[in-house]
Structure 1
Amino acid sequence: MKRIVYLTFYFEPDLCAGSFRNSPLAKVLAEKVKEDCVVEVYTTMPNRYDTYHAEASAFEERGNLIIHRIPLPAHESGMMDQIKSFYTYFKEVIRLNKGQKADLIFASSSRLFTAFLGYVLSIKYKKPLYLDIRDIFVDTISDVIKSPIIKLFMLPVLKLIEYQTFSNAVHINLISGGFKTYFQQFKGVEFSEFTNGIDDEFLQVKPNPVSLRKEHNAVKTIVYAGNIGEGQGLHKIIPQAAVMLGEGYQFIIIGDGGAKGKLLSELQKRHVTNVEIRKPIQRNLLIEEYQKADYLFLHLNDLDAFKKVLPSKIFELATFDSPMIAGVSGYAKEFIEKEITCSFVFSPCDVEAMVRGVKEFNEGKEIDRKEFFSKYNRDHINHAMAESIIQYL
């Protein structure tokens, strides 16, 4: 029997983009190879948020889909914590694969080291490596790290790891079309662009009359759900916008992350009273919050690396009948303006543009995104991507 080693740092029941992408894809892949092959997933116990805990088994066998969940040390999303977590994951995956055989290595990676782990295993087994790239880690880390001394020592090492990893893949899927120019340097590799998509949970949501342009409500709600990290830069936009919009608007922030402290500090400094921060919640409860919102909010920090990305959150928010307010640039801006009706895009961290856009938005406009739903159905994308993967078996 053939064996696919499937690497993803996040998997269900964790709450994050990596989990939402890889959990259904692994299932579709296992269905397609059927009894001829086993798909063996190596992931971690739920750990995305310190404030969200979900029960999960360390080992699961679902027919020909096998899941290994590796426990990680407690962490709070800081850089050193993340390094320790990845080292634990890396070391344990190598240990679990000792004495095993494999026919194909698949790695879905936002941070470079899951992809590098895939490269190490592909060299060990002398088998093809298929990469699913969700972020350009070297690009991002170059923007995020400000210390020139750390950059001087870290970046050359990371670039060497990146070159070795990407050059030795047989196929690289780019989750964003904005990545294409960066990856032109890697020759002899096949590329595809299977983006994120809309999950069944959201496609099945029926329009909620309560959410249809609530012009009669005195207070308009702006909902953000997801990571509160440096990458989102919420501390640079929400406290300032909340003050300018005033008490007629209420921000509801659902999530957690490494920059939550900065957000709380900025809110406290400005004595903001119209922002509520809640812990991460499961998707069925999140859907209810989205349905009640007047506006759905998305924001990325003002960094060059983020001009290439296509956030998975876009696909989630687009399924609801509330306008999308997005502080993004580059490829994400182009994508939203082209594909998603009834949306407003402003430059990241531009508080005045955001406030102006919210106040001037035509709330009475009907939202029809049926064409978008059909084009970006996650299940359709997963089936096409699974076919792309199994050709290398």
Structure 2
Amino acid sequence: MRVLLLGFYYPPDISAGAFRAEALVEALACRLPAHGELHVLTTRPSRYVAEGTSPPAVETLFSGKVRVVRLPVSGGGRGMASQARAFASYALQVRRLVKQERYDLVIATSSRLMTAVLGAWVARRKKARLYQDIRDNFVENLPFVLPGGTGRLVAPLFGMLERWALGRADRINLVSRGFEPYFRPRYPRQRFAWHTNGIDPPFVEAAESGFFDQKIHADESQPLRVLYAGNLGAGQGMELILPNLAERLSTRVAFTVIGAGAGREALCRALSERGIENVQVRDPVPREALLEAYYAADVLFLHLNTLPSLESVLPSKLFEYATTGRPIWAGLAGFPADFVKEEIENAAVFAPGDVEAAVAALDRLELHCRPRPAFVTKWRRDKIMANMADQALALVTNEA
């Protein structure tokens, strides 16, 4: 059995997509037959990477069963044009590398759709089975992401690409149940699965060892330590909520923001222009340092922008946050808001962008550590990826 996994991001990139791909590779490697092979074609990370990290271009893992190839790509910056150049570079190299290869199964893990399109093209050329792992609703988001009506103009084109890529899939996984109202009517004959992001093993281990257990905010004379750790992009809209919220709670809360993305510059500019001093913005850090940051926090903050398309996503950050036992303060609407209310204790949800609602939500939180062992057991990533790997490989072994 020969399996190809396509994913644009892979460690040492420290994004959610990279960690998901790594976990899937581990699960697949443990289930491959004795002479099975897994080829991973990804990119050399250009963002969210720990300083001094230089991954090998080619890496062999799991006693030779897995071969990871990291391809150098041009572009990869913040703008859509730069990202398009980076993907074009990646796709051209993938086409060259797979030309003489044979594959029984192609798995594509994709957030911006085009990796799914590439996976469908490779699977068709190789007459291989195709498993699509869709991490975002790209086509529905386009009108809200691209400025000046451009998104509405190009959405039909990308809709055609989506139909071509997903229509050829033997199975489609969606990371959020909130995507179902969009995808199910459009692809009524497809078989869907719902393997979400889940909790990374280091966070599971930390929770089960009691690492996070401590009394929170012991010194009432000090500001509450509130942490946001994650991407700073259009989807989060942190520049739209945090300056106003920090100003409103200037003597009560000290915010720390750990992250990068297209919205970071706008956030820092807004904080500087208004002279806000109770927000510290830091660069992304490796998981080990992130664990320490969570340990030091009193409350964990999360916010999604006020875009209708974001009411169907399920932020991977929620799983990390809940694992720490810390109170969660979240600006969410739609499906992710319902998920928090149903699944996570000691979490307060407010309408995105609403400062007064956010202050009221903070007042509803219990400022102490409350471990969530049932949540950790239910949503640990190794179990989720094990089920997903079994499902994907069953396409080849005729058990699906």
TM value normalised by structure 1: 0.95
CA contact (8 A) 1:177 1:193 kept: yes
1:284 to 283, 288, 306: 288
CA contact (8 A) 1:212 1:321 kept: no
Residues 211 and 89 (structure 1), Cα distance of their counterparts in 2 relative to 1, 3 Å cut: farther
Please name the residue that 2:276 is paired with. 272
Paired with 1:305 and 1:360, the residues of 2 have a C-alpha distance of: 27
The alpha-carbon deviation at position 96 of structure 1 amounts to: 0.8
Larger deviation, residues 267-276 vs 75-84: 75-84
Secondary structure of 1:388 counterpart: helix
Please name the residue that 1:180 is paired with. 180
| Residue 390 in structure 1 maps to residue 389 in structure 2 | no
Report matched runs for 1:36-47 at 5 Å.
36-47=35-46
Paired with 2:52 and 2:198, the residues of 1 have a C-alpha distance of: 25
1:243-300 deviation per Cα after TM superposition (whole angstroms, max 9, x unaligned): 0001331110111111111101211221101100111111001100101101111111
Please name the residue that 1:156 is paired with. 156
The alpha-carbon deviation at position 196 of structure 1 amounts to: 1.2
Paired with 1:163 and 1:341, the residues of 2 have a C-alpha distance of: 39
CA contact (8 A) 1:50 1:76 kept: no
CA contact (8 A) 1:211 1:322 kept: no
2:357 to 332, 353, 358: 353
Please name the residue that 2:370 is paired with. 367
1:72-116 deviation per Cα after TM superposition (whole angstroms, max 9, x unaligned): 225431111111111111111111111111111100111100000
Paired with 1:75 and 1:51, the residues of 2 have a C-alpha distance of: 17
Residues 50 and 316 (structure 1), Cα distance of their counterparts in 2 relative to 1, 3 Å cut: closer
Structure 1 residue runs of 5 or longer lacking an equivalent are none
Paired with 1:210 and 1:188, the residues of 2 have a C-alpha distance of: 50
Residues 287 and 50 (structure 1), Cα distance of their counterparts in 2 relative to 1, 3 Å cut: closer
| Residue 256 in structure 1 maps to residue 260 in structure 2 | yes
Residues 321 and 308 (structure 1), Cα distance of their counterparts in 2 relative to 1, 3 Å cut: same
Paired with 1:75 and 1:19, the residues of 2 have a C-alpha distance of: 15
The alpha-carbon deviation at position 232 of structure 1 amounts to: 0.8
The alpha-carbon deviation at position 356 of structure 1 amounts to: 2.2
Please name the residue that 1:142 is paired with. 143
Secondary structure of 1:111 counterpart: coil
Secondary structure of 1:291 counterpart: helix
Please name the residue that 2:20 is paired with. 21
**AA aligned opposite 1:166:** L
Paired with 2:18 and 2:231, the residues of 1 have a C-alpha distance of: 13
Q: Percent identity?
A: 36
Please name the residue that 1:57 is paired with. 56
The alpha-carbon deviation at position 216 of structure 1 amounts to: 3.2
CA contact (8 A) 1:341 1:368 kept: no
The alpha-carbon deviation at position 15 of structure 1 amounts to: 0.5
Paired with 2:97 and 2:9, the residues of 1 have a C-alpha distance of: 17
Paired with 1:188 and 1:153, the residues of 2 have a C-alpha distance of: 28
The alpha-carbon deviation at position 219 of structure 1 amounts to: 1.5
Please name the residue that 1:9 is paired with. 8
1:306-355 deviation per Cα after TM superposition (whole angstroms, max 9, x unaligned): 11110111101111131011111111111111000010111111111112
Please name the residue that 1:310 is paired with. 314
CA contact (8 A) 2:233 2:261 kept: yes
CA contact (8 A) 2:145 2:151 kept: no
Please name the residue that 1:81 is paired with. 82
Please name the residue that 2:305 is paired with. 301
Paired with 1:341 and 1:210, the residues of 2 have a C-alpha distance of: 17
**AA aligned opposite 1:173:** N
| Residue 193 in structure 1 maps to residue 194 in structure 2 | yes
Paired with 1:35 and 1:84, the residues of 2 have a C-alpha distance of: 39
Residues 116 and 52 (structure 1), Cα distance of their counterparts in 2 relative to 1, 3 Å cut: farther
Residues 111 and 189 (structure 1), Cα distance of their counterparts in 2 relative to 1, 3 Å cut: same
Paired with 1:211 and 1:133, the residues of 2 have a C-alpha distance of: 39
Please name the residue that 1:337 is paired with. 341
CA contact (8 A) 1:142 1:155 kept: yes
Secondary structure of 1:35 counterpart: coil
1:190-224 deviation per Cα after TM superposition (whole angstroms, max 9, x unaligned): 11111111121011212445553435351111101
TM value normalised by structure 2: 0.94
Structure 2 residue runs of 5 or longer lacking an equivalent are none
**AA aligned opposite 1:112:** L
Residues 129 and 183 (structure 1), Cα distance of their counterparts in 2 relative to 1, 3 Å cut: same
Aligned length, in residue pairs:
390
CA contact (8 A) 2:12 2:50 kept: no
